Structure 1
Amino acid sequence: MRALVLTGPGKAEVQDVPTPVAAAGQVIVDVERVGVCGTDVELFTGEMSYLHTGASSYPLRPGHEWAGVVSSTGEGVDAAWIGRRVTGDTMIGCGRCRRCLSGRHHVCPDRHELGIRDGLPGALAEQLAVPVTSLHALPDTMDATLGALVEPGGNALRSVNAAAPAPGERLLILGTGAIGMLAALFARAAGARVHLMGHDPAQLHLAATFGFDGVWTRDTLPALPWDAVIDASNSPALPALALDLVEPAGRVVYIGLAGTPSTVDTRDIVLKDVTTVGILGASAGLPGAIAAYADGSVDPRPLVAATIALEEVAAVLGGHLPDRVGPGPKFLVAPRRERPGVTP
């Protein structure tokens, strides 16, 4: 089958690789849609921290935001999964350690991160082998586009839940990329007064079309009391700004990762009595994201700029976008030799 392979920093190509066979406890998925994530870009450029700690290495097959249809099952797996449209948890723990047994498999010390850490090839391929324990079945009303947006949606929903804005409270989200915009959609669905701060003109324009309470740049951001702040950016300067902006006794959630270390003064956390939370992975947010997409309370589809072919991914990872794309921050990939075209 065909799969995208990262062979070194700034190097990616579509290769013919062995077709996966389901081992015991696994299923094979015919991949329909895959999201391209900022993590994939960092793996491509070589900036991703896992490449420097040894958790990841080249050659590497990325892709962790996906949806597809189960085509075969391994030993011990119920054949009723065959034909089901599914997505899956990126974080796959050992299932035996204290963290896994207490429901915290996303921080298992021996976890796999599908398409990110070494161990399990990712979904930017025609087929994917995954443990059945990581699957989440999608309702019949959800198509593959929505399915591939569940994983980033789960991250965003966890961020909103950690920020815990009560109905009518004011939430500021730093960053207008996919996670920031998804967080804004989930927060608004929960009744928060949602504001975003960004710098990309196209993303700011798109955010304005959703009718959020405010869309700002750093220069235009008003001096309002922010009950909670979510940093969904990749800027090393914004974690400290989030802490500076939030109201005393407020909440700051960090889900964005910068390429270089960020500095936060913990004295400010203490003296402002601020609750700070870090978010790693979508695991606990996946069911809620699926439910919100299925009932229509959150519709992420306008965030998709285009759906591209597997052969176009390397160019997108390198910052070279197709000629015709929409204004959204998210690219999806159709890896199974169809002619995708631009998503409206």
Structure 2
Amino acid sequence: MRAFVLTAPYEGSVQEVPVPSAGPGEAVIDVERVGVCGTDVEFYTGEMAYLTEGHSSFPMRLGHEWSGRVSAVGAGVDTDWIGRRVMGDTMLGDGTCRRCLRGHQHVCEKRQEVGVRGDRPGALAEQLAVPVSSLHVLPDSVDPALGALVEPGGNALRSVQAAALTPEDRVLILGPGTIGLLAAMFARVTGAEVHLMGRSERSLAFARELGFENRWHEDSLPDLPFDAVIDASNAAHLPARAVDIVEPAGRVVHVGLAGEPSLVDTRDLALKDVTAVGVLSASPGLPATIRAYAEGVIDPRPLVAATVALDRTAATLAGERPSDAGPGPKIHIDPRLA
């Protein structure tokens, strides 16, 4: 089958690789849609920390935001899974450690991450094999594009849940990329007053198209009390800035990751009585995200600027956008396209 293989920083191509088989407890998925995200780009540039920490190595197959249809199952798996439309959890714990047994497989020390960590091939291919235990069934109302947006949506939903918003609150979201805009959509549902801060005129203009009027650059941020701040950016100075901005007794949520260490003075946290929460994974938020999409609570499909074929993967990772791409931040890849 055809798959995109990254062999070194800035070096990757579509190659013929063996078709996956379903091992015990596994299913093979015919991949319909894959989202490209910042983590994939960091692997492409060689900047992803997992490469230096020994959690990942080249060659590797990327792709952890995906949707598709089950085409085969392995030993011990109910054949009723065949034909079901699904998406999958990225985080695969060992299933035996204390964290996994407590339902926290997404922070298992020995976890694999599909397309990210532990040599588990990703979804940028015609087919993918994963444990059935990681699958979530998609209702008919959740199309392939929405299915591939469940994983980033789960991160955004968990961030909003951690912010504990009420209709009386004002929340500031740093970074109007995919996660930031999804967080803004979920935050708007709570009734809170939503503000966005970013650097790019294009991304802030797109946020306005989505109905978010309160959009700011860092140097023009108004002096308002923000009850919660969600940092969905990759800027190293913004975690500390979030603590500085938030109201005393407020909540700060860190879901974005910088490419270098970001420092927060814990004295500021303590003296302001701020609650700070880190969000690593979508895992605990996947079922609720699927329900939200299925019921039309939010519709993130406008975030997808274009859907391209597998042979456009390298160009997409390099930052190229199709000439007919829309204004959204997300590019999807459909391995079925010629």
TM over 0.5: yes
Residue of structure 1 in register with 2:321 after alignment: 321
Tell me which residue corresponds to 2:270: 270
1:18-97 → structure 2 map (5 Å cutoff):
18-97=18-97
The match for 2:175 is 175
Q: Distance in 2 between matches of 1:45 and 1:28?
A: 29
* Number of the residue aligned with 1:151: 151
Q: Deviations over 1:177-211 (max 9, x none)?
A: 00000000011112211110001111101101222
Is 1:117 matched with 2:117?
Answer: yes
TM-score calculated relative to the size of structure 1: 0.97
Q: TM-score, normalised by structure 2?
A: 0.99
**Structure 1 contact 173–232 (Cα < 8 Å) conserved:** yes
CA deviations over 1:128-179 (Å, ceiling 9, x no partner): 0000000000001211010000000000000000111112310100001000
Aligned-residue offset at 1:316: 1.2
Amino acid at match of 2:337: R
How far residue 322 of structure 1 moved from its aligned partner, in angstroms, is 1.9
Task: Render the CA deviation track for 1:199-243: whole Å, top value 9, x for unaligned.
Answer: 111110110122225111112211100000000000001111101
What is the deviation of 1:313?
1.1
SS at match of 1:219: helix
| 1:275-290 superposed matches below 5 A | 275-290=275-290
Where 1:223 maps in the other structure, the secondary structure is: coil
Q: Which residue of 2 aligns with 1:14?
A: 14
Show the counterpart of 1:341: none
Structure 1 residue ranges without an equivalent (≥5): 339-344
Letter in 2 for 1:102: R
Matched, 1:197 2:189: no
Larger displacement relative to structure 2 (258-267 or 211-220): 211-220
Distance 2:225 2:192 in 1: 14
User: Separation in 2 of the partners of 1:319 and 1:105?
Assistant: 32
Code of the residue aligned with 1:87 in structure 2: it is: M
Unpaired runs of at least 5, structure 2: none
Count of aligned residue pairs for this structure pair: 338
Superposed CA deviations along residues 273-295 of structure 1, whole A, max 9, x for unmatched, are: 10101100100110111011001
Deviation at 1:26, TM superposition (A): 0.2
After superposition, the CA RMSD in angstroms is: 0.8
Q: Contact (CA 8 Å) 1:193, 1:213: kept in 2 or not?
A: no
Alignment of 1:116-265 (within 5 A): 116-265=116-265
